[in-house]
Structure 1
Amino acid sequence: MPRNALYAQSGGVTPVINASAGGVIAAARRHPDRIGTMFAAQNGILGALDEVLIDTAQLTETHLTQLRHTPGGAFGSCRHKLKHGAELKRLFELFAAYDIGYFFYNGGGDSADTCLKVAEFAQYHGVDLTAIHIPKTIDNDLPLTDCSPGFGSVAKYVATSVREAGLDTASMAASSTKVFILEVMGRHAGWIAAAAGLASSDAASPPHLILTPEVPFEAGRFVRAMQETIARVGYCVVVAAEGVRDAQGVYLAESGATDAFGHVQLGGVAPVLAGLVKQHLGYKCHWAVADYLQRAARHLASATDLAQAIAVGEHAVSYALGGLRSVMPAIVREDNEPYRWRIEPVPLAEVANREKPLPLEFLNGDGLHLSPLGREYFAPLIQGEVPPPYRDGLPDYPRWQFVTGAKRLPAFDPARG
């Protein structure tokens, strides 16, 4: 008898997370004798707890194709730290009510923690459930995988933006703006900021300075490097990860708030850096925060990234049907030129609650520029263009609206033990 499956998206979305969803759904449909109904939880694990489920049978083949072209999270995502006790019990009541035998959770490091909790609960209580984590994070900080789906497209977008903004800054530097600062995501790891270095073709082209959390920030050193760059080139373009911090580990832009997982909320490193420029050098400075733009830019997605996003979704189903449990499909790099990769399973216990920092050897000795080794790593990940369909001059993205099923369980009471 086939058993049903539940898929959910979690955490910050990416330009290609929906492609992974399409990969999961399409792969499941190829095995009707093993997987019955593929449900999707609306708004991640919260939708599962509230029993807001979508029967993906309502998605046509055209819809599956559209998933590959659409940014955001088609089924809705969330940030929620699954709690032991009432929440885990409720989740397994849902699994029982819908005969869920397969759970696919698509997210980053915190989502891996949720998936691991589900897998361990099932094992401890002898529940026949296969939990597979599907990797996704633009931060590229998941361990045991060469890269994370979503990152390659963001790297391509940021490097492109830096190259274009650099030309703008250069054209105005003689009489106006001499400094442009782009703040990118990366709380604990500087992968995105470092990848922006791909935009540079020589020592005079931007980005001229790269700031990452892995290299402690020193204001005096930053000011001197900027002054030298402007004297040499005439202007300076900086890319800074949001998580830049000093030698004591204090973020330059702490706001004092925390999210559901206890992560410090950051208030913006770019204006802090711009203040230093004005205070010490007096130059006119513009700054921008890539924020949601970088992770929603499906129009500039990497073909490599898209292929990998689909592949991890398909392999997740293959692993589940092959009897593997509590694993994550990881991307293994086989070669750089030409770039070749494959997918292999890795233990989820070695992924959850762990982060992969940017290797310092990916930066030059001064820690402010991309090294040849870093360029060799990043370059293949941004290759290829797969633009979405356009209509009236704009990307033709669907507005996803799904019918959710009638509920079978009582309303969830989180206070229940």
Structure 2
Amino acid sequence: MPQGTLLYAQSGGVTAVINATAAAVIEAARARRVKVLAARNGILGALREELIDTSKAPAAAVRALALTPGGAFGSCRVKLKSLDVDRARYERLIAVLRAHDVRWFLYNGGNDSADTALKLSQLAAEFDYPLTCIGVPKTVDNDLAVTDCCPGFGSAAKYTAVSVREAALDVAAMADTSTRVFVYEAMGRHAGWLAAAAGLAAKTPDEAPQIILFPERAYDETAFLAHVERVVARVGWCVVVASEGIRTADGRFVADAGAGKDAFGHTQLGGVAAHLAGRVHDALGVKVHWALPDYLQRSARHIASRTDFEQAQAVGRKAVAYALDGRNATMPVIVRTSDSPYRWKLEAAPLQRIANREKKMPAGFIRSDGRGITAAARRYLEPLIRGEAYPPYRRDGLPAYVALGHALVPRKLAPWAEDPGRD
């Protein structure tokens, strides 16, 4: 039996299937008789020495966890900086890990989380502490480098495509006497993957969404309004999907909320759909409705993609295997081997190639006018939303989600004096 403890932590915005990864990690480790601790509220839990003992969770609860959205152990938006700038925090992490005999650290997150896992592995080597650090992929934005797709994206993409198709039927039914234009805001700060997924709802140019606005293309208001006007004249109504991160030619976010930066240094965005709706109404004089699904995109477990669910579990199991094999500073990534039939496998990629890198939409995925997807994008996206992985439902008609207890192991160190969660 391997000697030591495995620590698992969730990072950043959660997804509909991140708990499927967590459940797979716990089950795979139990099969190898390895104890799993989970950091409460992500990396903060490790710094605060708030570590959840997952051995208290019955096997049935862990199985149910795989079908539950949210982050079962809590997540956080805290980015650790370079080893030089944040050395005290990294050293605190090493002290906590050493105190609890943690020999394997699995960090379930995106680009910034991969960077933290990489730096922690470097500091552990400097301290001659036997620690294997594994990045576990997760993001609804699908902007993680190296991996073909990212667990979390497929379910958010499915929710987006289904929601846009359903809303379009509503708009079409009411267009003669009511709403002519509907604007849907999709997540995506620098990469338009979720906005592109909305394009799966349309099979012909006149089907919704007729217009998609990507952050990879400069937003031109005059051209946009003219396009909306043409679609309304031809079809009678128009559905627009806009990524939250669209910018003007001078680089200004159309939806800059003016609220400064978040914990990761990102501009606070908000309201691109409302802004576009107002401009369409003022310029064209038609009735406009808009929607900001926000958290609904990443929490919609009731309509999760089967592909996404299976990949989320697979990376969790593989992460444990890589950790126990000593494959330090790596991440299990998804490699597509065939579009039709859709086939994929997992391979190990070094965190050095992933940390702080961002994968944007390929130019060949965006239509020549910059406001729609191509056949190549459809071939890439369609397999990721296929299949259903419905949760069980209770007699009251609601999903039967589980809440695990958060039994903390006893602290062995003094409280952490500096708390980055309250900067």
Please say if 1:368 is aligned against 2:368.
no
Task: Give unmatched runs, 5+ long, in structure 2.
Answer: none
Q: Which residue of 1 aligns with 2:31?
A: 30
Out of 145, 154, 157, the position equivalent to 1:155 is 157
Q: Is the 8 A contact 1:86 1:415 kept in 2?
A: no
Q: Equivalents in 1 of 2:237, 2:223: separation in Å?
A: 17
Alignment CA distance shift 1:302-1:221 (3 Å): same
Q: Is the 8 A contact 1:133 1:328 kept in 2?
A: yes
Q: Which residue of 1 aligns with 2:146?
A: 144
Structure 1 residue 177 displacement after superposition: 0.5
1:167-202 CA-partner distances (Å, limit 9, x unpaired): 000111011100101101000100000011000021
Q: Which amino acid aligns with 2:356?
A: N
Moved more, 37-46 or 78-87: 78-87
Q: Is the 8 A contact 1:13 1:77 kept in 2?
A: yes
Q: Which residue of 1 aligns with 2:169?
A: 167
Q: Is the 8 A contact 1:360 1:367 kept in 2?
A: no
Structure 1 residue 415 displacement after superposition: 8.4
Q: Which residue of 2 aligns with 1:380?
A: 383
Please say if 1:401 is aligned against 2:402.
no
Structure 1 residue 210 displacement after superposition: 0.4
Q: Which residue of 1 aligns with 2:215?
A: 213
Q: Which amino acid aligns with 2:60?
A: T
Out of 52, 68, 71, the position equivalent to 1:70 is 68
1:276-296 CA-partner distances (Å, limit 9, x unpaired): 101210111100111000100
Q: Is the 8 A contact 1:86 1:414 kept in 2?
A: no
Q: Which residue of 1 aligns with 2:227?
A: 225
Which secondary structure state, in structure 1, belongs to the residue aligned with residue 290 of structure 2? strand
Please say if 1:307 is aligned against 2:310.
yes
Structure 1 residue 141 displacement after superposition: 0.2
Any runs of at least 4 consecutive aligned residues in structure 1 with deviations exceeding 3 A, and if so which? Answer: none
Out of 120, 123, 128, the position equivalent to 1:118 is 120
Q: Is the 8 A contact 2:61 2:404 kept in 1?
A: no
**Count of matched residue pairs:** 413
Please say if 1:276 is aligned against 2:279.
yes
Structure 1 residue 397 displacement after superposition: 1.2
Q: Which amino acid aligns with 2:410?
A: A
Q: Which amino acid aligns with 1:79?
A: R
Which secondary structure state, in structure 2, belongs to the residue aligned with residue 69 of structure 1? coil
1:23-70 CA-partner distances (Å, limit 9, x unpaired): 1111111112xx3x2100110000111111111111111112111110
Which secondary structure state, in structure 2, belongs to the residue aligned with residue 137 of structure 1? coil
Structure 1 residue 126 displacement after superposition: 2.0
Q: Equivalents in 1 of 2:326, 2:409: separation in Å?
A: 29
Which secondary structure state, in structure 2, belongs to the residue aligned with residue 402 of structure 1? coil
Q: Which residue of 2 aligns with 1:103?
A: 105
Q: Equivalents in 2 of 1:182, 1:22: separation in Å?
A: 33
1:97-136 CA-partner distances (Å, limit 9, x unpaired): 0011000000011111211111111122222100000000
Q: Which amino acid aligns with 1:352?
A: A
Which secondary structure state, in structure 2, belongs to the residue aligned with residue 377 of structure 1? helix
Which secondary structure state, in structure 1, belongs to the residue aligned with residue 416 of structure 2? coil
Q: Equivalents in 2 of 1:243, 1:136: separation in Å?
A: 20
Q: Which amino acid aligns with 1:370?
A: I
Instruction: State the Cα RMSD in Å.
Output: 1.2
1:256-279 CA-partner distances (Å, limit 9, x unpaired): 310112110002111110121012
Q: Is the 8 A contact 2:57 2:405 kept in 1?
A: no
Q: Which amino acid aligns with 2:408?
A: T
Q: Is the 8 A contact 1:42 1:48 kept in 2?
A: yes
Q: Which amino acid aligns with 1:142?
A: L
Q: Which residue of 1 aligns with 2:179?
A: 177
Structure 1 residue 338 displacement after superposition: 1.1
Q: Which residue of 1 aligns with 2:192?
A: 190
Which secondary structure state, in structure 1, belongs to the residue aligned with residue 66 of structure 2? helix
Q: Which residue of 2 aligns with 1:250?
A: 252
Out of 77, 93, 96, the position equivalent to 2:95 is 93
Q: Equivalents in 2 of 1:232, 1:123: separation in Å?
A: 64
Please say if 1:318 is aligned against 2:321.
yes
Structure 1 residue 399 displacement after superposition: 2.9
Give the % identical residues: 53
Q: Which residue of 2 aligns with 1:204?
A: 206
Q: Equivalents in 2 of 1:2, 1:303: separation in Å?
A: 35
Structure 1 residue 321 displacement after superposition: 1.6
Q: Is the 8 A contact 1:217 1:244 kept in 2?
A: yes
Q: Equivalents in 2 of 1:400, 1:181: separation in Å?
A: 38
Q: Equivalents in 2 of 1:82, 1:128: separation in Å?
A: 21
Q: Which residue of 2 aligns with 1:357?
A: 360
Q: Equivalents in 1 of 2:279, 2:373: separation in Å?
A: 23
Q: Which amino acid aligns with 1:29?
A: R
Q: Which amino acid aligns with 1:404?
A: L
